[in-house]
Amino acid sequence: MSTLSELYEEIALCQLCEIAKYRTKVVPGEGAENADIMFIGEAPGWHEDQQGRPFVGPAGQYLDNLLASIGLKREQVYIANVIKCRPSGNRDPLPAEIFNCRKWLERQIEIIHPKMIVTLGRYSMAMFFPGKSISKIHGTAQRRDTVIYYAMYHPAAALHQQSLRQAIEADMLKIPVLLAEAKTVPEAKPQPQQLSMFED
Ligand code: URA
């Protein structure tokens, strides 16, 4: 069994938050264990909760189109969320839920060891760019050690607002150059992850 499958089994047993009781399926994440690029969204919605897979509803279809615009298929990337259970009524994740779930995302990053991490939306951005505003930093990248971090709007927000849609589509088109650059950075030993610890 791969390390990711073992991790998924552990995540499926997690009952730290109240919302774990109400989930249909836990949504750990999916994609290639050796992916160079990892996309991190917010939380599962109704469709994801039904299927146990991230980004499979309308926002997911849009994400697939965005990936296709740069020649990537979802099987070539890794897709995860900040929290792994659906918050009831699609509300925003609570700070306690983000805190409880953080260790799973940290383990995923350790296993996949991506060269580039793309945050989708505010909650994911806050873990890697604390204190920043998405309207200011979307479409900008920061290299820390051997990893390039890149902030984008959330596809669900962009679906419904024309100005954000133009921004997310333009931001997506910047990824291939950044990813090519990230691939030229020499490999470092995987480090234990601790999120929300980045300084400016
Ligand atoms: N929105 C997210 O942030 N994640 C999903 O998996 C689906 C919608």
* Mean of pLDDT over the chain: 94
Helix-strand-coil percent breakdown of the chain, rounded to 5? 50, 15, 40
Ligand 1 atom nearest to CA at 53: 6
What is the pLDDT, as a whole number, of residue 185? 80
- Say what the pLDDT of residue 198 is: 55
The tens digit of pLDDT for each residue in 59-99 reads 999 999 999 999 999 999 999 999 999 998 889 999 999 99
What pLDDT is attached to residue 189?
63
What is the spatial distance between Cα 121 and Cα 177, in angstroms, rounded to a whole number? 21
| Residue-level pLDDT at 73 | 97
Q: Please state the φ and ψ torsions of residue 141, each to the nearest 5 degrees.
A: -120, 150
Partner residues linked to 103 by β-bridges? none
The per-residue pLDDT for 187 is 73
Give the binding-site residues of ligand 1, using a 6 Å CB cut-off.
41-45, 48, 54-55, 57, 59-60, 81, 156
pLDDT at res. 188:
66
Q: Which residues does the chain have with pLDDT short of 50?
A: 197, 200
User: Distance from the CA of 59 to the center of ligand 1, in angstroms?
Assistant: 7
- One-letter amino acid identity for 43? A
Query: Whole-model pTM above 0.85?
Result: yes
